Amino acid sequence: MGVFGYIGKSNAVPVLVGGLRKLGFQGYDSTGVAVLEEGRILVAKSAGKLAELEEKLNGRIFASTIGIGHTRWATHGKPSESNAHPHLDCHGDFAVVHNGIIENYFELKEWLIKEGHLFRSETDTEVLPHLIEHFYEGKLETAVRKILTKIEGSYSLIVLSRQDPGTLVAARKNNSLVVGLGEDGYYLASNFSPILQHTKNTYIMEDEEIAVLTREGAHFTDFQGKAKEKILYEISWDPSAAEKDGYDHFMLKEIFEQPKALRDTLAGRLTDEKVVLKEMDLTPEQIAGFNKVAIVGCGTAYHAGLIGRTLIERWAKLPVEVDIASEFRYRTPLIDERTLVVVLSQSGETADTLAGLREAKRLGARIVAITNVVGSSVSREAHDVIYTWAGPEIAIASTKAYTTQIEAMILLALYLTQAKGTMSKEWIREIIAELKKIPDKAGEIFTQVAKVEQLAPLIKEASSAFFIGRGLDWSVALEGSLKLKETSYIHAEAYAAGELKHGTIALVTEETPIIALATQRDLYDKTLSSVNELKAREAKVIGFTFEGNDSFGQSVDEVFYLPETINELAPILTVIPLQLLAYYVSLARGNDVDRPRNLVKSVTVE
Ligand code: M6R
């Protein structure tokens, strides 16, 4: 979750612990530091909160002025002391802290083990110190540059070496890393928060850049070794803004993190032809034996499950039921060993979801969990786990957890589809090619943030708002309305667009904002008819659709055009402006965006 490094004149241990305190603001599961002292790398680690690490360090006198530290949010391997960073090579020559995912770690680890390296953790990160050990020929910078040609994935990493005792080497790719230039030394961190207490002067590392820090100075190169000129920035954020990477709220920060979270969730799981879910332990025969799928979750997770239903039925041709977890047990579901049960939970600790999982297990079903928290109860009790690599979600309103849950459902649906052979190989290739573009398309939406902000005043004073759509748009409408109600406290409901005329349209007046979603091409015309019915009752309609759907765009009062994608992948994009809309309406109403009233992040009571 956060890397930190220091080289300078001060005692490194208190500097590192102070930095980790800032980095691990919330949501980490283990911590560790490594310092260089009398020619040895000394490591202290702890599973749990920073206080436990401090306890371990208490009473030990350190005189080191160089070191690295880490707060971990588990990805590969459960939260434990052995999986906590820093990780060492075989002989304690190199220590590494790393944020991100090494996608090809498995192959690298197998190779390194054959070369005689001894691994002590389940992490992807541990391949890094062993690789450095393998390629080291007298200069740390050169060895790090060499290993970067071997690893695939995303990373911000810092390396400490007893062979090059006055040097820290850092590298970043698709992750963040900044360097602080203080009076007492240099600081390296995954965000500004641990640096700002020491200095406001910073260098921002760019993608595919290496930094080499010594007590004499910092120099930067690209991955090929070409020197880079850097601009020194003065950061004026206050410390609380720094914890949120400069965003005003965690909700906004997490909305903006979605391209990265989406990219990380796909990482290592797609070739050009197929989905690879190494974590699933199902044979094609077992998959062929399932006669239905049951999906269980609460709130936002339930909404992601609704999307999963459409995809699995449409592609894998398996019947699917979706239940709100708190209702699942009470309707005596017809579940047995031929049922694949998918349990969705960001936290992995929601009591209703856990109770549903246990009931399904008691009935003999095979359980797949989709969760964001490694080692959570749901992940421990399920037979298979697909992790969403969204990183910690702090805001109560779920945003990046939802879009990555949809992605995980897409991966699972494709995994079942390819095993059952229900769609052609060519078709799977096309979906995969488009899926790979989704993180960038999610990023494109942020060029239109101002447009969403301008829509907030149209909703801010409303006492009631309706979200409508058909097919997958209806599922997204449910999530959009939940976002609005939980953050703004405006009564918001989602309806299948065709159902409005069977009663609800009686509630619609010119005072009722309607958010109409139209991304399903085969349903454009039908949704347009519903919009026209609403317009005839003087309702104000805000439409969300793809460029080119002109008849729809011209029929609504305001229109937001989304980046084009295929129908089934559209929900990931459609929800992003709805999340932003909820955020800006909540802000305009002066609400506590990150901590809405009466809500907690994880509901651990039934
Ligand atoms: O941790 P979980 O995914 O199991 O949580 C389920 C719901 O409590 C959660 O999605 C809730 O609905 C969100 N706060 C909505 O934004």
pLDDT tier at 52, thresholds 50, 70, 90: confident
- The whole-model pTM stands at 0.81
Atom of ligand 1 nearest to the CA of 402: 10
* pLDDT tens digits along 268-289: 999 999 999 988 989 999 999 9
User: In percent, how much of the chain has pLDDT > 90?
Assistant: 76
Q: At residue 4, does pLDDT exceed 80? A: yes
pLDDT confidence of residue 354? 94
Report residue 21 CA to chain centroid gap.
22
User: Tokens 């190989």 sit at which residue?
Assistant: 425
Q: How many angstroms is it from 18 CA to the middle of ligand 1?
A: 32
* 221 and 341 belong to one structural domain: no
- Residue 52 belongs to a domain: yes
* 66 and 138 belong to one structural domain: yes
Q: What is the mean predicted confidence (pLDDT) over 208-221?
A: 95
* 227 and 172 belong to one structural domain: yes
- Residue 433 belongs to a domain: no
Q: How many angstroms is it from 372 CA to the middle of ligand 1?
A: 12
* 59 and 201 belong to one structural domain: yes
* 239 and 256 belong to one structural domain: no
Confirm or reject: Cβ of 346 under 6 Å from ligand 1.
Answer: yes
Contacts of 270 (CB under 8 A, 6+ apart): 276, 432, 435, 436
Could you please report the per-residue DSSP string of 291-360? Answer: -EEEEEE-HHHHHHHHHHHHHIIIII---EEEEEHHHHGGG-----TTEEEEEEESSS--HHHHHHHHHH
* 461 and 402 belong to one structural domain: no
- Residue 437 belongs to a domain: no
Three-class DSSP category at 162: coil
CATH of the domain at 179: 3.60.20.10
Whose C-alpha lies nearest to ligand 1, atom 6? 298
User: Tokens 């009591």 sit at which residue?
Assistant: 351
Confirm or reject: Cβ of 299 under 6 Å from ligand 1.
Answer: yes
Q: What is the mean predicted confidence (pLDDT) over 22-42?
A: 84
Residue 129 vs residues 75, 103, 124, 256: alpha-carbon distances, Å: 18, 16, 11, 32
Q: Are 9 and 184 in contact (CB under 8 A)?
A: yes
Task: Give the whole-angstrom CA distance, residue 362 versus residue 526.
Answer: 43
- Residue 403 belongs to a domain: yes
Final residue before a domain boundary, out of 243, 271, 304: 243
Which residues constitute the domain of residue 584? 446-588
Confirm or reject: Cβ of 347 under 6 Å from ligand 1.
Answer: yes
Q: How many angstroms is it from 511 CA to the middle of ligand 1?
A: 30
Confirm or reject: Cβ of 481 under 6 Å from ligand 1.
Answer: no
Residue that wins the pLDDT comparison between 601 and 230: 230
Helix 449-460 to helix 472-488 angle (10° resolution) is 70
Most confident of 70-79, 222-231, 475-484: 475-484
Q: At residue 479, does pLDDT exceed 70? A: yes
Q: How many angstroms is it from 299 CA to the middle of ligand 1?
A: 5
* pLDDT tens digits along 424-447: 999 999 999 999 999 999 999 999
- Residue 367 belongs to a domain: yes
pLDDT confidence of residue 25? 58
Whose C-alpha lies nearest to ligand 1, atom 12? 299
Atom of ligand 1 nearest to the CA of 300: 10
Q: How many angstroms is it from 397 CA to the middle of ligand 1?
A: 8
CATH of the domain at 492: 3.40.50.10490
Q: How many angstroms is it from 329 CA to the middle of ligand 1?
A: 19
- Residue 62 belongs to a domain: yes
Residue 391 vs residues 34, 233, 260, 371, 583: alpha-carbon distances, Å: 24, 27, 10, 11, 20
Residue 170 vs residues 83, 187, 354: alpha-carbon distances, Å: 21, 11, 41
How many distinct structural domains can be found in the chain? 3
* 411 and 529 belong to one structural domain: no
Atom of ligand 1 nearest to the CA of 353: 4
- Residue 124 belongs to a domain: yes
Q: What is the mean predicted confidence (pLDDT) over 37-66?
A: 87
Mutate to test the pocket of ligand 1, among 303, 603, 604 (most ligand atoms within 8 A of CB): 603
Query: In which region does residue 459 sit, left (phi positive, over 0), alpha (psi from -120 to 50) or beta (all else)?
Result: alpha
Q: How many angstroms is it from 90 CA to the middle of ligand 1?
A: 42
* 224 and 260 belong to one structural domain: no
Three-class DSSP category at 255: helix
- Residue 83 belongs to a domain: yes
Q: How many angstroms is it from 94 CA to the middle of ligand 1?
A: 41
* pLDDT tens digits along 526-544: 999 999 989 888 899 999 9
Q: How many angstroms is it from 332 CA to the middle of ligand 1?
A: 24
Q: How many angstroms is it from 305 CA to the middle of ligand 1?
A: 12
Final residue before a domain boundary, out of 243, 263, 296: 243
Q: What is the mean predicted confidence (pLDDT) over 67-74?
A: 90
Q: At residue 421, does pLDDT exceed 80? A: yes
Final residue before a domain boundary, out of 218, 243, 268: 243
Q: How far apart are the first and last CA of the chain?
A: 30
Over the chain, what is the mean pLDDT? Answer: 93
* 413 and 491 belong to one structural domain: no
Q: What is the mean predicted confidence (pLDDT) over 238-255?
A: 84
Three-class DSSP category at 304: helix
β-bridge pairing 40-47 and 66-72: unpaired
pLDDT confidence of residue 277? 94
User: Tokens 């209702």 sit at which residue?
Assistant: 327
Mutate to test the pocket of ligand 1, among 593, 602, 604 (most ligand atoms within 8 A of CB): 602
pLDDT confidence of residue 298? 97
pLDDT confidence of residue 313? 98
* 306 and 354 belong to one structural domain: yes
Confirm or reject: Cβ of 376 under 6 Å from ligand 1.
Answer: no
Mutate to test the pocket of ligand 1, among 300, 394, 479, 481 (most ligand atoms within 8 A of CB): 300
Confirm or reject: Cβ of 602 under 6 Å from ligand 1.
Answer: yes
* pLDDT tens digits along 454-477: 999 999 999 999 999 999 999 999
pLDDT confidence of residue 107? 95
Which amino acid is residue 202, in one-letter code? T
Confirm or reject: Cβ of 190 under 6 Å from ligand 1.
Answer: no
- Give yes or no for a cis peptide into 86 (omega within 30° of 0): yes
Q: How many angstroms is it from 415 CA to the middle of ligand 1?
A: 25
Q: What is the mean predicted confidence (pLDDT) over 163-182?
A: 93
Q: Comparing 231-235, 261-265, 558-562, which segment has the lowest mean pLDDT?
A: 231-235
Q: How many angstroms is it from 344 CA to the middle of ligand 1?
A: 10
User: In percent, how much of the chain has pLDDT > 70?
Assistant: 98
* 189 and 263 belong to one structural domain: no
pLDDT confidence of residue 48? 81
Task: Give the whole-angstrom CA distance, residue 568 versus residue 315.
Answer: 10
Q: Are 275 and 269 in contact (CB under 8 A)?
A: yes
Q: At residue 26, does pLDDT exceed 60? A: no
* pLDDT tens digits along 89-113: 999 999 999 998 899 999 999 999 9
Q: What is the mean predicted confidence (pLDDT) over 323-340?
A: 94
Confirm or reject: Cβ of 345 under 6 Å from ligand 1.
Answer: yes
Q: At residue 311, does pLDDT exceed 60? A: yes
Q: Comparing 51-60, 171-180, 281-290, 513-522, which segment has the lowest mean pLDDT?
A: 51-60
Residue that wins the pLDDT comparison between 549 and 297: 297
pLDDT tier at 24, thresholds 50, 70, 90: low
* 231 and 258 belong to one structural domain: no
Task: Give the whole-angstrom CA distance, residue 388 versus residue 157.
Answer: 22
Q: What is the mean predicted confidence (pLDDT) over 250-279?
A: 94
* pLDDT tens digits along 374-418: 878 899 899 999 999 998 888 999 999 999 999 999 999 999 999
